[in-house]
Every structure is written in structure tokens, then in C-alpha cells.
Structure 1
């Protein structure tokens, strides 16, 4: 998909501003997360350490009050935003849908944030209750407070497979004891302790939790898909939820394939996608079985 000629950094900031105006017009509460909404204390510093370096981002991320999500989506569609990946196709956590606008580029609309296990509406209330304001593209936008932003980027870093992720270093390693205690307290309120532990290197403290395997898989950079699906099934909160995850595992993610190919899918594209998916799964399973055999032989 082609976007406008606006520089990407300006495009993302403009998208944040427009999304805020859109939400206000619709009577919807949104919080701007990551990208240009990130608190200066969490940004990379210049070489002399005196000034923050603007955060690079290719899309605008917003967290929407779940009970107002459908209203916000209807408003986006009216304003010519096109959904390119729904919540189920968007990620392993089903947390965000991706939209594209001819002028404003991409945005991710979050209905919850991965790692926060508390009911999404209650979690939003907690984040909304301590919100702060920030001017983005000359528009007053709402953001989580500094402690919540620390937690959010730590949870995001936990999915990177990098124990030395720069966000983890700035938000945790370089934080004061008081800052860490505040983040731990917020994680407890939001039921985000397992994911936070995955980010900070303390995941083994939560061995036995139903979502332990899932966060181990992401935080270690394990890219074997059947490991991920097994962990996702185990992390499901109910038998019905586990069944839904298992059914989705069999489906081709056509939204991602469409974005990879850059055009609407043909029948042949879909058939090739299923073929490639099957071959990859068989190859990964073969490697896993070989490794298990070798381990058992020692």
C-alpha cells in the first residue's frame, strides 16, 4: 500500500493528533502509547547525554476503552481508515487491530495490552485514572503516567527475545529502587507480574503459572511456531478459549500474507500460503523430534 509523501515521523505524530480528535468527536477514551507519546525519561539520550532522542515509530499506537471500542472503530471506518488486520490476525495475543489511511499511514488500535491479565475494562480504568497530558501535533493527547509507561514498554520488550533490549535497560536497569517498586506494584494491580518477570529476567519465579510457557517462548526468542501454539493453548483461561486457539492455529493468517505480498490475495496466493505453512510446520516438528531424540540418547 502506498502512503503519502509526508515524512514518516511527522506522519505518525499527525496520526496521533487526528486519532485524538476522532476519539473526542466520538466520545471515546483513548490513551496514546509508545512512539512519540513516550515520556522523555524513557527515551534514548543524545551522545552528550543532554537531550532525548525522538523515538522512531512507523505507526501510531492507541489503547481504547474496551466498552467504547466498536464506536471508535465505526468512526475510523467513516473517516476512511481501512482495517488491514483484525484482532485475531494481528498478533498471538489478539490485542490489536491494524488500520491504514491513505494520508496518515498505519495505526494499531489496542483493546488491551499483552501481559496485562486483568479484565481489560478494569485495567483501562486504572491506567486512565492516572493519565497525563502531552501535546502531539499541536493536539492535547492523553498518555499513561510514567510508571505505567515503564511497565508498558517492559511488557513490550518481553516479547523481543532480547534480555538486553534498550527499553528494558532504560525502564528497569537504569531505574531507581523506588521506580522499580512502583512498577512492581502496578504490575500486581494489573495482574501483569508474569510478563514483567519475563522482561526483567525473573520468569522462573513464576514457573507453574498457566502463561509461563508463553512468556518463556517470547522472551527467549523461540520462533518455532508449534511451540508458540502449544504455549498459547496452555495459557488460555478456559477450555473453550483453548479450543478457539487450537482452531485458529489451523488457519492461514491472510492479513499478514496480504501485507507481505503488498496486494489483495488471489486463490493461488492462499494455496501457496497454506502449502508454505504446512511445510514449515513439518520441518519444525522434524527438528524438534530429532532434538528430543538426541537429548534422550545422552
Structure 2
């Protein structure tokens, strides 16, 4: 069941508890459920980031964790059994279909990642690689696992480029040896295309299937180009066909949040045609701009 409530819902319900405290308790709660589900889990972002990479602590607004891909279903079922509701799905969450978001009346939001955008290694291989170099941390008395500091640095860079940003400030504080270790990990994780966005060298990878998707992600562009980029980025014919079929489908998660309730069939149909009109308009505008730029 998709939770259609607006994003302020969890904050209004938990407003009496300071965000930093709530998030520490939420992290411990999610870790407890992962252990119940038998799911290995690596906590990322927020206060899970090592202090050496964040001069000023940032707690974020939700809990993010990379879950063992083989235990995603078990984790999902455990979350539902303990009062969590699906807020947005893998399918509609982002262009990378990387995370599914859950909402709890007490704990707020939890982003369950099955992969991290920018990492090209197969999901299970990537998780095992990061898990092998994990480091222990604690939140509200509960031990949890986070990626190594080098992996955290890589993830912070990959996260920054999705926000159209360059290299995060912490990168310039690392020494040459740390740079070499992180870049070595980038190569192992096949994250070089996304990492190149931060270094300003993305165009060196124009022959890679992920190139256009990262260009659109970092620089923006019409939705029709984004969908074409998503299709091209798929590594298999089956994946390309799946994304192509999905392209015209209405994002029910987003529409539900905008309306504040589950949409009716008529509203879904109306949204379908609105998207089609917008797609045609954006495409026409893109063509006009290109023609004018060549004059």
C-alpha cells in the first residue's frame, strides 16, 4: 500500500522529539528489524558518515541503508509487519530505481537501497565488496555497520553529483594516498562514469552506455531525453524493453502525494495525457533551441 500523505506528515507526528534524537532512535530501530529479517545492512549518509568526512555533523531527514539484495523481500515484509508503510517504490523512486522509501508514524522515513546510483557493479557483487570492508558504529546503544571510510567518501561524491554538484568540500581535505585509495575503489566498483561528473571529465566517457543518463542527471534536460537515457543505460535488451514499456506509465507514487490521496482511474488517465502533452512540448522546445543554436 502506497502512503499518499505529504512529506511533512512524519515531522508533524514526531515534532515533539528533536530530529537528531529521533533519527538516532530510528537508525537503531531499523537495525533491529534488519537483524530480525536476517538481512545484512550497511548504513549510509547522515550521522552514519565518519566525522573525518563531515566537519559539521549532519543528521539528515531520514535513515538510509544499503540492504543485502538477496534479503530485500524479507526486509520489506518485516518492515510492513512492524508498522512501516511504503511511501515510494523502487519503480518510481528515481531514474536509477535504487531505493524504496518507507514511512513510520514514530520513526519517520527509511530509504531501503538495493544499489547506490553510479556504482556499475552488479548489485550483489557491489554489496559484498562493500560489506567485506565494513566498519562498526553505534546508534542509541545498537551496533550497526557502515561502509569503510574510503567507501563512504566514494558514496558522498556519487551522491553529490546527483544534485548537480561538483566535488564535495571534504575531498580537498584528503591526502594523496586517500585519493588514490578512493579512486581505486571507484574503478573496482565500476563507478568511473558518475565519478567523472565530479571531476569535470564526463565527456571522456561519451562512448559509455551510462553517459547520457549522467549528463541529464547532472545537467538537466527534457523528460523524453531522460527516459531515452534510462533506456540506453540498461545493460541488457530485457532491461531496455522494460524501461521503454515503463516510460509512458503514470508515476502513481508522485501523483498520490500531489493529490494527497490515492488517485482515481479518471485522475490517472488525465495525468497520462498531461504527461504526453508535456513530453511533446518539451521535445518541440528542444528541437527549436537546437535549430536556433545552429544559425
Output the TM-score relative to the length of structure 2: 0.91
Out of 16, 19, 23, the position equivalent to 1:8 is: 19
CA deviation string 1:197-234 (max 9, x = no partner): 112212122220111111111122x1421111111111
SS in structure 2 of the partner of residue 158 of structure 1: helix
Out of 49, 66, 82, the position equivalent to 1:38 is: 49
CA 1:21 to 1:171, structure 2 compared with 1: closer, same or farther past 3 Å?
same
**Residue equivalent to 1:226:** 224
The answer as to whether partners of 1:199 and 1:219 remain within 8 angstroms in 2 is no
**Residue equivalent to 1:50:** none
**Residue equivalent to 1:120:** 123
**Residue equivalent to 2:286:** 288
**Residue equivalent to 1:111:** 114
2:86 matched to 1:83?
yes
Q: Which is worse superposed, 58-67 or 3-12?
A: 3-12
CA deviation string 1:242-289 (max 9, x = no partner): 111111111111101212333222334323422332232122111111
**Residue equivalent to 1:49:** none
> How far off its partner does 1:178 sit?
1.3
- Partner Cα distance (2:164, 2:221) in 1: 9
- Higher relative CO (Cα under 8 Å, sequence separation at least 6) belongs to 2
The answer as to whether partners of 1:187 and 1:196 remain within 8 angstroms in 2 is yes
Structure 2 residues without counterparts, runs of 5 or longer: none
> How far off its partner does 1:172 sit?
2.3
> How far off its partner does 1:83 sit?
1.0
**Residue equivalent to 1:153:** 156
- Partner Cα distance (1:288, 1:9) in 2: 44
2:38 matched to 1:27?
yes
**Residue equivalent to 2:185:** 186
- Partner Cα distance (1:264, 1:56) in 2: 31
> How far off its partner does 1:26 sit?
2.0
SS in structure 1 of the partner of residue 168 of structure 2: helix
- Partner Cα distance (1:141, 1:42) in 2: 19
CA deviation string 1:35-75 (max 9, x = no partner): 111111121x3xxxxxxx22141111010011111111111
2:143 matched to 1:140?
yes
Poorly superposed stretches of 4+, deviation over 3 Å? none
- Partner Cα distance (1:237, 1:262) in 2: 36
**Residue equivalent to 2:247:** 249
Give the count of matched residue pairs.
284
The answer as to whether partners of 1:147 and 1:179 remain within 8 angstroms in 2 is yes
- RMSD of Structure 2 on Structure 1 (CA): 1.6
